[in-house]
Structure 1
């Protein structure tokens, strides 16, 4: 049986009309993203000394930028359920770099990402500016990372975790790894936190490869971005917010991880 991770989509030819769409959409998205970044950094100069680790204002800019970017791209956007209003964190399946925009568009969250992302050109700068928490996969860093998670959660930040550990081709959900769920079971946090599972489902444009929005393995980001910008039409993404789960309703991280995975899968086609 062929490993889906080794499969690749056929290259897409971009004609003159496609390049025109790249210029128009890419220019508009670039202006929105980096214009928003400049505004965010300017406001952060005031927000940081007054509020410290808390960010009561700047996440609204991130959310607005992501909403506009999704609209400029032409991606249909549907939501079911509502983001929770109680303190806690969010877990979701991970399909594409687009998840950054589609998840931020509906709520004010802070992503938890692998440390390598911090060094990516362009994306790394945006991630750091918007408060992304970078983690090192080394086991020796586990306690340090758990303290960092606790600090951010106690500051009222809604952290978003991808328990699969990697992105997919949008056609599957991988088993959830329970390691990061340990962050919700320390120093009494489990008694105040809720975890909200969220399902992302991308639907490709009619006639395109069902994996059109997927970004996995060693796929090139630049080529994938150009393909999406050049597309004459787009499909949609469906974001399903499941009922929040109280962390103290489980004896430990494995039970909580299993429940969240089951809820995320419940809104995903078999």
Structure 2
């Protein structure tokens, strides 16, 4: 299992919120909650019909997920800037991981299904939402590569576009960790790689003016609730850049390690080129 990335240099917490800050929390949070949970209820109702008719295929409900994620940025006031476009055809997406906002960021641009570590399924609230939206839960164990291959092949055959974070953990958004190659092996254990590609995506969060550069990052032992409040209470919001790079054909790669390293280099270059130079270890991969 990949250890959780930690840092001794943590940004300041939100502190006590003023009346105006609480007003911003309510102004943004209430509509956001209505959209998220209202559409979740609608999606669960539609799945009652969608599941028996289409099985693993989900021709309708992923559009609801995308609508929710696009709406979230509007409601929170966070600007979303996109460069490039999701690849066409059978494709798996890999991206750097910096925040719980990544779920909204990456779902807003494409109808994707996240691949997540199995323990997330048991997390209160988040696990339930993940299951409802079709998240694939796996154990990041090289011994289970064959099982992963079978599972991925079933999902890809159903038209699902899978997305996972090869770093295996979130960071402060100022670096890209080494990509673990374990899940890449699944693409070489069957004949699915003949027309399969992997699209690297770089995600860069830009803080509100005057705030810590890691304002939107969520990692280590940070609690979700206080971080959510900090984001909702911000007087001004920042933005997120999403860079869709050219996809990499699997059948042209020299094994899982080479494919993982190539995608890592592409994602890191996208992140580092977009960030302003910062002194010290925070600017290093």
Residue in structure 1 matched with residue 8 of structure 2 by the alignment: 6
Q: TM-score scaled by structure 2? A: 0.91
Gaps of 5+ in 2: 274-285
CA distance in 2, matches of 1:80, 1:261: 18
Give the structure-1-normalised TM-score. Answer: 0.96
CA contact (8 A) 1:201 1:268 kept: yes
In the alignment, the residues of structure 2 paired with residue 168 and residue 28 of structure 1 have an alpha-carbon distance, to the nearest angstrom, of 29
Identify which range, 260-269 or 99-108, moves more after superposition: 260-269
Match status 1:95 vs 2:91: no
Gaps spanning 5+ residues in structure 1: where?
Answer: none
Aligned residue for 1:233, secondary structure, equals coil
Of the candidates 236, 251, 269, which is equivalent to residue 233 of structure 1?
Answer: 236
Asked if the contact 1:93/1:173 (under 8 Å) is kept, the reply is yes
Counterpart residue number, 2:64: 61
Shift of residue 268, structure 1, vs aligned partner: 1.5
Number of residue-to-residue matches in the alignment = 268
Cα distance in structure 2, aligned partners of 1:138 and 1:261: 20
Give the deviation of 1:138 after TM superposition: 4.2
Offset at 1:246?
Answer: 0.6
**Counterpart position of 1:150:** 153
Q: Displacement, 1:137? A: 3.0
Between the aligned partners of 1:6 and 1:108, the Cα distance in structure 2 is 36
Match of 1:107 in 2: 110
Query: Where does residue 242 of structure 1 map in the other structure?
Result: 245
SS of the equivalent of 1:209 reads coil
Superposition CA RMSD, Å? 1.3
Mapping of residues 166-185 of structure 1, within 5 Å: 166-185=169-188
Q: Which one of 197, 200, 207 corresponds to residue 200 of structure 2?
A: 197
Give yes or no for contact 1:6–1:217 (8 Å, CA) kept in 2: no
